[in-house]
Every structure is written in C-alpha cells, then in structure tokens.
Amino acid sequence: MENFVVSARKYRPATFRSVVGQQHVTTTLQNAIVSHHLAQAFLFCGPRGVGKTTCARILAKTINCTNLTPEAEACNECESCRAFNQNASFNVHELDAASNNSVEDIRSLVEQVRYAPQAGRYKIYIIDEVHMLSNAAFNAFLKTLEEPPSYAIFILATTERHKIIPTILSRCQIFDFNRIRVEDIRKHLRYVATQEHIAAEDDALHLLAQKADGGLRDALSMFDQMVTFSGHNLTYKDVVQNLHVLDYEYYFRLVDALLTENLSAALLLLDEVMQNGFDLHNFVVGAAEHLRGLLVCKDTVTVQLLEVSEGIRARYVQQAQASPLAFLLSALNLVSQCDREFKQAKNQRLHVELTLMKLAYLNGAVQFARDLGTSNGHATNGEAKKKTSVETGAPVASAPAPVPSVPVVGAAPAVESAPRVAPPVAAPAPRPMAPPQPVAPRPVATVSAPAAPEESVPVESGVEELHETPSIEDEEADIPTVHHQVVDTSPHVDIGAPSVAGHEPTTTRLPPPPPGMQKPLPTTAKLPGLASKIPSLKDLKAQVTQQMSAAKATPVADDEPSGPVTGLPVIDEEVLQKAWNDIKEDRRAQDRMSEYIVLNRPVTVDDQHVIRLAVDNPIQIDQFNAFRSEFLTELRQRTGYPRLNVHPVLMEQAPTARKLYTSADKFEYLADKFPILLDMKQKLGLDTDF
C-alpha cells in the first residue's frame, strides 16, 4: 500500500512563483537576491499556515543555487539544489525553538556558526517558533545575530511577534505575512483538485476557503478530509454536512420569514437549528453577517465586498432587492444588541426568540412610526395655526384690571366673592409708571383671560411665565418678619427716582378698595424695584439663625412638675412593663433598631411616675431624646397614666481589669500574688520570655 502524503506537504510551494498570496514578500526577496542585498537576519511574522517556513526554505535554497534563472528562481539542477531537495544539504540547518529554547541550545548554535560552509556560499539557520526562546537565550543570541560571519544568514519565523524582545527585532529585517484571500485559496484548491482528478463544486471549494480563515494549510487539510468523506465528487452539501457549519440556506429562509412577518416560521427555524446541534451564539453571529451581506448588496458598487461564490452572491442580490433599507439597518442593530447581551442572558434561547419576535414585526413598527410622524406633523401645524390666531386676536393688557360680572356665552357662572384687586405684577414687561389716576371700570366684550385674576395666562396664548413673579399685595399667608429696613436710594435710569424709599414690610392687612375701583399704584412703584421689598436669602438665613439662638436661650419646660406631686395613683408595674415591651417590639418590627436598642434595657419607676432608663453612654441619651415625645405619647396612651415621664440615666462603668497580653505581664501579675516567684526566678536564672 502506497504511503499517503497530505496535500499540504505534497503541493508545498518549491519556488517563489508558486507561493500563494504573499507576492509582496516574494518580490522583495527576489530583488534582494538579484541585487546581492541580503541581510544577515530575517524575521517572518504572520498567522499560521500562510507560508513563513516555506518562504524561508525557498530563500535558503535559492541563495545557494549556482545557476539561478532570470526570474531569480532556483534551477533544481545544480548540486546544491539536488541536495536540498533530498534533505541532505549541510548548509541549511533548521532549529525548532519550541524544544530548543535554553541558553545551552543557543550556545551550541553559536559554536556551529564558527565553521564555514564546505560547499556553497552561505550557511542558513532557520529557527522556527522563535518566540518560544527564553529571555536568557535571546540575550545570549544577540551578539551573534548582530555581527555574524559573512557566510551566516539567520531566518527567524514566528506567529507571535509581540513576544520577541525589541533588541532582537531591531537586528532583523521584518516581513509581515498576510492572511491569504478567500479567492486565492479557492483557486489553489481548484488546482489541487484538478491535479488529483477530483470533481469539486465551486461553492464547496469556496466554503472550504472561508472556513480556513486565511490559512492555506488549514484549507488543504479540510480538503483532504472532505475528499476522504465524499470520494472524487466533492459537493457543497457534503461539505456543509461534514464540517457541521450553518448553511446560507438557513439565513435566507430566516429573512424571508421576517419580511413576511411569519413569526412561527422563524421560531421553527430556530428550533431546527438547535436540533441540528448548532450553537445559538454562532447562529446570532451568522445572522448579523447575513444582514451585513444584504446591506452590502443593496448597491451594485459594494457587491464586491461580499466574499461568496457567484451563485450565493446572486441570491444575496435578489433578497437584498426585496428587503427595505430601513428594515436591514434596524434588524442589524437588534441582532448586534442580541450578540452583545447574549453571554449575560440566563435563558439564552428565550433571549434569541425575543429578538426574532422584534424582527418579525419590524416592518410594521417602522411603518407605524412613519405614519405617527406624519400625523404629528399635521397636528403640529394645526396647533401652530391655533396658537398664532390666539396671539393675534387677543391683545394682552399691560396691567390687569378688575373685570365686572359680564355673562359670557358658554362660560361657567362666576362665583360671587369679595372684590379683589389683581396684582400689578402680571404685566409682561416693566414700563414707567405715571401718577395714579382713578380708572372707571369698562365692560369687556370678549373675555380671553381666565376669570380669576390670580391665575397665570395659559401657555397657548403665547405668554409664559418662566418664574414666579413677586406680588406687592399683602396675602393672608405667613410672611416672615424681617427686622431690617430696605432702602433703595439709587436712581433708576428710566424715571430718575428711587424705586422704594424706606419701605418696612408688615403683616397688617390693607383694607380692600371699594367695588369697581382699581387699587391706585404708588407714585414710586416700579416692577424692577419690587425685588427690594422681598428679603434676600442672606436676610432669611440671618433671621433663622436668630430664631434658633433665641430658642436655645429659652429654657424648655419639662413635663415633670418642679416639686413633688401628691395623690398620684400607684403604677401597675406589670401593665407598664407590658406596654414598654410592646412598644419596643413594634420598633423592632419597623426596623428601627437604634430605638429598639435604647429601649431594650431594665427600667424603674418611682411614686412620682418618673421612669429611670439606664443607658450606657451619652450617645444613647441623644438617641432617646430624638424620639422621646413620640414615645411618651404612645406609652401614656397604652398605660393610662398621663403623668408618666422618662429620664435617661447614665450607668456607671465598672473599672476595666488589666489585660494580660505578654508573658512579662503574666509574670508580673503572678509575682504580685505569689512573691516567691521572684526568688525562684533569680535563683534558677529563668527568663520571662520563652
């Protein structure tokens, strides 16, 4: 039986021209060989399976070839090329740094570098997975790597460039290998299938190229596996079944169901995906990629961004034409949100099903939002017209005047009340005031303002008060008494006179004016000057501070009489104790633990109905005083003794005994009780520390 060789080794590139997808690297190396500009060290970086070691071997073979072709390729005919092809070349040394990563291995390598090649011009050292070397090995390799002999060339290969120390990177020419494009991998797979006489569908090869994730070696390994599974006829269905991947068909069916708002079909499709053993998270990620593909296919210019086969691309374009752009954008947003929150979800299937429910009725929601926006636009226009008509048809008076009782058609009957004067602060803007003149009431034909003069003008009328305007009319509400005199003697620009001169606020209620007459305004009254009549925050703060100081200076009368009271009934201690315990447990049930802790202690009562409450510290006295009035009221109601009073008493703390921590303290304590221990210590020469 003939030994089978995997395709990754059988079809490994032997020349620069046959390297797939790394033309920027191969062209640079060929030019360096032709111009004899070879560096002493090369570093090949890139993902797995993209040709790093292959290019290193091709470079080592080509620079020792004695008969180069015009394209700077090895001839495969000279002695050096034949020895290399038979793995018998003494000028090419490969070292696996993963298993030779110590300083001793590098020291052995440095010893080999001292010897010149027996045949050929260069000795090439290929060190694969160089990032596995230890820091000590890297440091031991620095000098040789920087100044090697003229015949020595080092080629380092790694998949993790960031693990190599910067001193090594600075001594090498660095080549970054790219991931191989899907189309290049598909073409190479087609070449291998032709050489092996295997009939393969383009969709199957394209799917293999996508699953390889830019690595040609992975693609060839999966190709060998598929050929072993399906024989010499490789189909797309076999690849999907064997690789256990989510087919495009699932997502095409899903989008069709969502566009027709068929929620049942979408949920059944999700159940089918789970029954086939696929991961829900992979399904969500695939759905997002599918929606992105549909969004790309909405424009013919961006169709080329979709890396699929021609048949699948045609289906994408067809479904994209039937999908509204608003649906695709909103659906992609919802699916991306589901992807972000998937790992935090407790019930992940329900999380995905909720997303499908939203997607199923997304078209209807978008249309409803559009209709709602259109209707709101019409309503807004109507309200604007109504607002404009109110503003132009109802002039606003500069100062409100008392409105006589005029029956208005369609209005509610006004309630008779004492004649009141409207505050003059309803004026929209301050104006200079003339001396007051008696104004006769005039009938109002059309009433556009509210009946009560105190109410503010509605917002629809175009007048909106941003803050509450102070009133000079004395109300019945409590007004804080200000013990200072406000004097504004600065002349105003508009009238050249002080707004208020020596006004002292008072709580005396002014007599109301006769009915039908408007209250005359003071000659110096002015709207901006009203602020001087209102106490500032600083004045109010000073007043509150003064009141608090007076309250502290005034002694508080205690509930307990100054002298002993005779004739008080004898207190039933059982009733008192029961009421006390009930109140205490109520505090505990209400989660008022600080009060419970204060009350949870023994109490005594004397013949004067005074309860002595023993507390531990002054803090508990302050805590009890905080709820004392409430507690006494409840205790008196429950016991029926209205003269009960509670006095907290601070308990005397017992002297704290000395704490014995060290052995010296313990010895001193015992020596005080037994003096003979001192004599024993001196005679025996003992020590307290042990």
Structure tokens at 133: 């070397």
According to DSSP, the β-strands at 41-45 and 152-158 are parallel
What pTM was estimated for this model as a whole?
0.50
* Span 606-656, pLDDT tens digits: 888 888 888 888 888 888 899 889 888 988 888 888 888 898 888 776 665
7-178 and 183-243 have identical folds: no
Q: Of 423, 405, 403, nearest to 413 (Cα)? A: 405
The residues that bridge with 200 in the sheet, in sequence order, are 234
C-alpha angle with apex 560: 555 to 566, nearest 5 degrees? Answer: 145
**Per-residue pLDDT, 644:** 86
Percent of the chain with pLDDT over 70: 72
221 in Cβ contact with 211 (< 8 Å): no
The distance between the two most distant Cα atoms of the chain, rounded to a whole number of Å, is 135
Identity of residue 61: K
Question: Rounded distance, CA 246 to CA 146, Å?
Answer: 51
Strand residues in 324-377 grouped as ranges (E): none
**Per-residue pLDDT, 655:** 62
C-alpha angle with apex 430: 425 to 433, nearest 5 degrees? Answer: 90
26-33's contacts with Cβ under 8 Å and 24+ in sequence apart are 26/55, 28/175, 29/55, 29/59, 30/71, 30/72, 30/73, 31/72, 33/59, 33/62, 33/63, 33/68, 33/72
269 in Cβ contact with 254 (< 8 Å): yes
Q: Is the domain 7-178 a CATH 3.40.50.1950 member?
A: no
Return the exposure string of 218-242: e unless at least 16 CB atoms fall within 10 Å of the residue's CB, then b: bbbbbbbebbeebeeebebebbbee
3-class secondary structure, 501: strand
**Per-residue pLDDT, 351:** 93
**Per-residue pLDDT, 201:** 87
One CATH from 1.20.210.10, 3.60.20.10, 3.30.2310.20, 1.10.8.60 for 183-243: 1.10.8.60
Residue whose entry in the numeric block shows the structure tokens 């004397």 = 606
pLDDT < 50: residue spans in the chain: 1, 383-467, 469-475, 477, 481-508, 510, 517-532, 551-560
**Per-residue pLDDT, 685:** 82
* CATH number attached to the domain at 248-369: 1.20.272.10
73 in Cβ contact with 16 (< 8 Å): yes
* Span 18-37, pLDDT tens digits: 888 888 999 999 999 888 88
3-class secondary structure for 529-548? HHHHHCCCHHHHHHHHHHHH
Question: Rounded distance, CA 122 to CA 374, Å?
Answer: 80
**Domain ranges within the chain, ordered by starting residue:** 7-178, 183-243, 248-369, 573-650, 657-689
